[in-house]
Structure 1
Amino acid sequence: MPIARAAKRATVRLGAVALAGALLAACGGSSDGASGADGKVTLTVDLFGSFGYKEAGLYAEYEKLNPGVTIKQTDTEDEADYWKSLQTRLAGGGGLADVQGVEVGRIASVVQQQADKFEDLRKYGADKLEGEFAEAKWAAATGANGEVLGLGTDVGPEAMCYRTDLFAEAGLPTDRAELAEKWSTWEGYLQLGKQYKKKAPGKSAWLDSVGSLYSVMIGQEKERYYDTSGKLIWETNPALKEAWNTSVEAARSGLSAELDQWSPQWNQAFAAGSFATLPCPAWMLGYIKGQAGEAGKGKWDVAALPGGAGNWGGSYLAVPRAAENKEEAYKLIAWLTAPEQQAKLFQKHGSFPSATGAIEKIADAKDPYFSNAPIGQIFGDAAKAAPVQVLGVHDQNVSQQITNALSEVERKGLAPDKAWRNAKKGVANITG
């Protein structure tokens, strides 16, 4: 579908959603009877990590367009904790929000195992939006019978974020083009890290953790944990073993700050300057800004990723069948995922759009916080070249077991072969 046509349709959709919301408020109720008698409705949104909707002002904008609607969001920083809690509530049927976030590594589980727990959004008109999203993004949330179980938010094209001030102090180049050439391979990235280590400012390390290194490397592969037939192949996948070996080398070379991602210590390390590089999908930009604060502005930059393009992360917004305000919830997620809103979110938060009509809008975007890096071009090029990944039911769980094992090598000095065996046991327990 041509981008121009998609954008035009999205514009019509935006107006329709706003008008429909206003009419609902004026009429004092919704078709599923969940609104209050006074015509007001509170929509609950439960997310993980940092989606950025509130920070980018999108909730406030939607509430202004839809008098009578109030949005209340709850957050869980760690996605694994969020998913565990969501599973408990889905099993019990209570305590669910009107809108639930779903990480891309979980969407196959929703589609293949939990379709009966979520609304088929076609009943609200979602089937008309298919051409507005990247084909792979749409397909991943579509069931065997065509059910639409979520609308795509962002995708996670990958780059490398780095601290120019720390690089300069260590005598390394700071120009993003020069660095992209020097670390065009992961071997080159590690070699540059070993140079950094010799003159590292203070107690800073080359990267935050080998878990993040592994995650961004495996994000460069089409097949990671499953093949196209749905068979679990992680143990024999040579690309995965290469990502493992590279991460082990980084750990044994002392290049890591040994920080658990999303932990309080990791969050504090952004402001403290505890690491010089961070493998970063687009959505990480907003997180860096939030943790490093105003003092970090101009100290960070973004360059192309070693080893080629990849994708790490991206999410969906879904409506549970047990939600109280299903129709209004759909209207909200349709608006939040429309091209106009996805473009705004990228400009303010760094979340790269999955809506095709938004990608053209952000092509020339630059970010003053990241030394005026051409983030639209860098992440746009990565998104175009990134592989369409094969997703499996336990993608996120398998990944967690592997990063846990790498953490044992990194923090405890565990022998890599023993850590690998621990990962195998963990995966076997999860997948049966």
Structure 2
Amino acid sequence: MGRARKPFGTRLVAAASAALSLALVAGCSGGDGGSGGRSKDGKVTITMGLFGVMGIKETGLLEKYMEQNPDVRIEAEVAGDEQTYYTALQTRLAAGSGLKDIQGIEIGRAKELVDTRADKFADLSDAGETDHFLPWKLNQVTTGDGKVIGLGTDIGPMAVCYRKDMFEKAGLPTDREEVAGLWEGDWSKYVEVGKEFKAGFKGDGVAYMDSASGLFNAMIYGDSEQFYNKDGDLIYQDNPVVKDAWELATEAATGGLTAKLRQFQPGWDPGLANSTFATAVCPAWMLAHISEKAGPENKGKWDVAKAPKGANWGGSFLGVMENSPVKEEARKLVAWLTAPEQQEHIFKEIGNFPSSEEALKAPAVAEAKSEYFSGAPIGKIFGDAAREIPDEQVLGRKDGTIKDTFSQGLQLVEQGKSPDEAWKTTDERIKKAVG
């Protein structure tokens, strides 16, 4: 990627394997060990609880920090599955024991922790420089009285990944600037292009887009409010942003424009390998997965175009526990790990897109290109998308659960249920899930 870059797909696979191996060693729940402490000789042990491939453990940053700070020892445990990790974190927060000094926070959990467990986390508002973060990123973990319970690692600005060869076969432009122009400023134009694709593509077994839920997510996460308002009230039933996204996504589903898949669910990876769809709404972190699953035989067939509107899907934070015996040392470590230089390093190694505005300006990020995706200038495309996102992104306590429930509802439509029936089922499931 870029002049001095290597494709990060294989590195991501290796990193994921390492994370999974560590999770198996530590146990599914992330191990039973708790916080670190100080030894008699003055050395400090800091423990970390992480999940997935956050880039903290996998890219050598912890070893580098320990080299620079020889009196610090870091023990990091990584759970491969975030759901399992979060369930264990909730249990330990309630019990007040078994917590690591530093805990990872996934974006879909941030609001719930801000609202219900902020007292368990140390305030990081003054832990080093924080003005380098994108404004909306820092806002997601800030309480009403200004306490910051975590510092941002990565984000997931969105674009549209598309197959040039399939577009050409359908009689559509293939140049990424021209393609972006087809749907500029309006997601409904993206669906209209899909209708042109369906009419022009000669052949069976190829859909325009992978899933209706991918389109739905891209539309709602480009707005300040989705499922909740600033007061924490559920508004999805009446929010025009959600309604419009549902209507357009179901239009695509009932119009035969989707491959009836859910991203990262069974069938999606084979769909990439077997080239069964021409486009996918893709956050920055998804490129590595696509390149791995679509395989070397499809290198250069994929490209990346600017999405109709900037939006974010994904990202995480690092928080420090208030009762950690090494709280100040942990605060320093978190500030260092999320500083622009380290975010840039993680991007170069495995492709996680920085939440630091300063890191976004670094040449290694801003000028990055993807060899697999036809030399697409991904640093510029995703960086521009990140800057388009509203400065305030209102999160709710059960955002992740609600998003997954909507995805399931849209799949019901793809399986033949009417949009109205699917909405009713989705509404009932959400009310049951959030209480």
The answer to whether TM tops 0.5 is yes
1:225 deviates by 1.6
**Which residue is 1:270 aligned to?**
272
Q: 1:112-140 CA distances to partner (integer Å, 9 max, x unpaired)?
A: 11113333346xx51x4232222332232
Q: Which moved more, 1:215-224 or 1:169-178?
A: 169-178
Contact 1:108/1:141 (<8 A) preserved: yes
**Which residue is 1:188 aligned to?**
189
**Which residue is 1:234 aligned to?**
236
- The 1:277–1:64 alpha-carbon spacing in structure 2 relative to 1, beyond 3 Å, is farther
AA at the equivalent of 2:243: K
Contact 1:409/1:415 (<8 A) preserved: yes
Contact 2:57/2:76 (<8 A) preserved: no
AA at the equivalent of 2:152: G
Q: Which moved more, 1:91-100 or 1:257-266?
A: 91-100
Q: 1:307-366 CA distances to partner (integer Å, 9 max, x unpaired)?
A: x22222222112345768655543433222110111233344333322232121132222
1:160 deviates by 0.7
**Which residue is 1:400 aligned to?**
404
How many Å separate the matches in 1 of 2:264 and 2:326?
Answer: 31
Q: Does 1:355 align with 2:359?
A: no
The structure 1 residue matched to 2:394, chosen from 390, 394, 397, is 390
**Which residue is 2:205 aligned to?**
203
**Which residue is 1:309 aligned to?**
310
**Which residue is 1:421 aligned to?**
424
- The 1:181–1:222 alpha-carbon spacing in structure 2 relative to 1, beyond 3 Å, is same
- The 1:275–1:39 alpha-carbon spacing in structure 2 relative to 1, beyond 3 Å, is farther
Task: With the length of structure 1 as denominator, give the TM-score of the two structures.
Answer: 0.80
- The 1:113–1:201 alpha-carbon spacing in structure 2 relative to 1, beyond 3 Å, is farther
- The 1:427–1:264 alpha-carbon spacing in structure 2 relative to 1, beyond 3 Å, is closer
Contact 1:220/1:309 (<8 A) preserved: yes
1:267 alignment partner, SS class: helix
Where structure 1 has 5 or more consecutive residues not aligned to the other structure, the ranges are 1-30
Q: 1:132-185 CA distances to partner (integer Å, 9 max, x unpaired)?
A: 222332232122343321011123322111222333344432210111111223
How big is the alpha-carbon RMSD for the aligned residues of Structure 1 and Structure 2?
3.0
Q: Does 1:252 align with 2:266?
A: no
1:259 alignment partner, SS class: coil
**Which residue is 1:346 aligned to?**
347
1:417 deviates by 1.1
- Fraction of identical pairs, as percent: 44
**Which residue is 1:144 aligned to?**
144
AA at the equivalent of 1:120: D
Q: Does 1:431 align with 2:434?
A: yes
Where structure 2 has 5 or more consecutive residues not aligned to the other structure, the ranges are 1-34
- The 1:88–1:205 alpha-carbon spacing in structure 2 relative to 1, beyond 3 Å, is farther
How many Å separate the matches in 2 of 1:32 and 1:311?
Answer: 34
Which has more helix, going by share of residues?
1
Q: Does 1:47 align with 2:51?
A: yes
1:431 deviates by 3.4
**Which residue is 2:19 aligned to?**
none
Aligned length: 395
Q: Does 1:335 align with 2:336?
A: yes
Task: With the length of structure 2 as denominator, give the TM-score of the two structures.
Answer: 0.80
- The 1:320–1:293 alpha-carbon spacing in structure 2 relative to 1, beyond 3 Å, is farther
1:203 deviates by 2.6
How many Å separate the matches in 1 of 2:234 and 2:377?
Answer: 38
- The 1:312–1:430 alpha-carbon spacing in structure 2 relative to 1, beyond 3 Å, is same
1:224 alignment partner, SS class: coil
**Mapping 1:258-297, distance limit 5 Å:** 258-297=260-299
1:247 deviates by 0.8
Q: Which moved more, 1:134-143 or 1:105-114?
A: 134-143
1:153 alignment partner, SS class: strand
How many Å separate the matches in 2 of 1:152 and 1:372?
Answer: 28
- The 1:400–1:32 alpha-carbon spacing in structure 2 relative to 1, beyond 3 Å, is closer
Contact 2:46/2:330 (<8 A) preserved: no
- The 1:93–1:206 alpha-carbon spacing in structure 2 relative to 1, beyond 3 Å, is farther
How many Å separate the matches in 1 of 2:385 and 2:247?
Answer: 24
The structure 1 residue matched to 2:106, chosen from 97, 103, 107, is 103
Q: Which moved more, 1:66-75 or 1:341-350?
A: 66-75
How many Å separate the matches in 1 of 2:183 and 2:177?
Answer: 10
